[in-house]
């Protein structure tokens, strides 16, 4: 009986816990498993905590792992995100620091608030991240739309 309880407990932990939940699904880029996770009541808004310093929303984590199919799934289900405008804005800002330009373009099409601050980008806005990472193409797109009063030294 104790063995059965242990097996059930480990199974539940694997399904919903840190090591087997949304974190693992995003790492593998498995959209079908993400859909199952969601359909089975998994929380797509529960932030992934790696340590006290690095806590990230699953959408931003998918961006940082450059999982385009997962990002597309989140956009398709953006109405299920808590504060979707901010989540998409933050993910877009983070995407500028990555090489995945397709993800940046996809998120930009969602009309993010480029003046929003990204917690995982030292509270920078999109233009600041474009400058820091030398993304001249994004700099030229974002500069006319950026509230330059926000920028500080």
What does the pLDDT read at residue 8?
46
* CB-based contact 59:91 (threshold 8 Å): yes
What does the pLDDT read at residue 93?
95
What does the pLDDT read at residue 23?
87
What does the pLDDT read at residue 55?
85
What does the pLDDT read at residue 104?
96
Nearest-5° angle of CA 10, CA 12, CA 15?
110
For the chain, residues with pLDDT lower than 70 are: 1-20, 100, 149-153
What does the pLDDT read at residue 13?
44
Question: Tens of pLDDT along 90-129?
Answer: 999 999 998 768 999 999 999 999 999 888 888 899 999 9
What does the pLDDT read at residue 149?
66
């Amino acid at each position: 009986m104790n063995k059965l309880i242990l097996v059930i407990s480990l199974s539940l932990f694997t399904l919903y816990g840190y090591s087997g939940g949304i974190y693992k699904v995003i790492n593998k880029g498995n959209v079908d498993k993400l859909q199952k996770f969601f359909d089975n009541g998994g929380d797509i808004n529960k932030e992934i905590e790696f340590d006290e310093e690095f806590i990230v929303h699953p959408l931003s984590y998918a961006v940082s792992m450059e999982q385009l199919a997962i990002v597309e799934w989140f956009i398709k289900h953006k109405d299920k995100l808590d504060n979707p405008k901010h989540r998409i804005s933050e993910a877009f800002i983070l995407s500028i620091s990555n090489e995945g330009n397709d993800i940046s373009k996809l998120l930009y099409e969602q009309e993010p608030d480029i003046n929003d601050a990204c917690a995982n980008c030292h509270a920078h806005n999109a233009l600041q991240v474009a400058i820091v990472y030398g993304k001249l193409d994004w700099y030229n797109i974002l500069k006319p739309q950026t509230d330059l009063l926000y920028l500080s030294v």
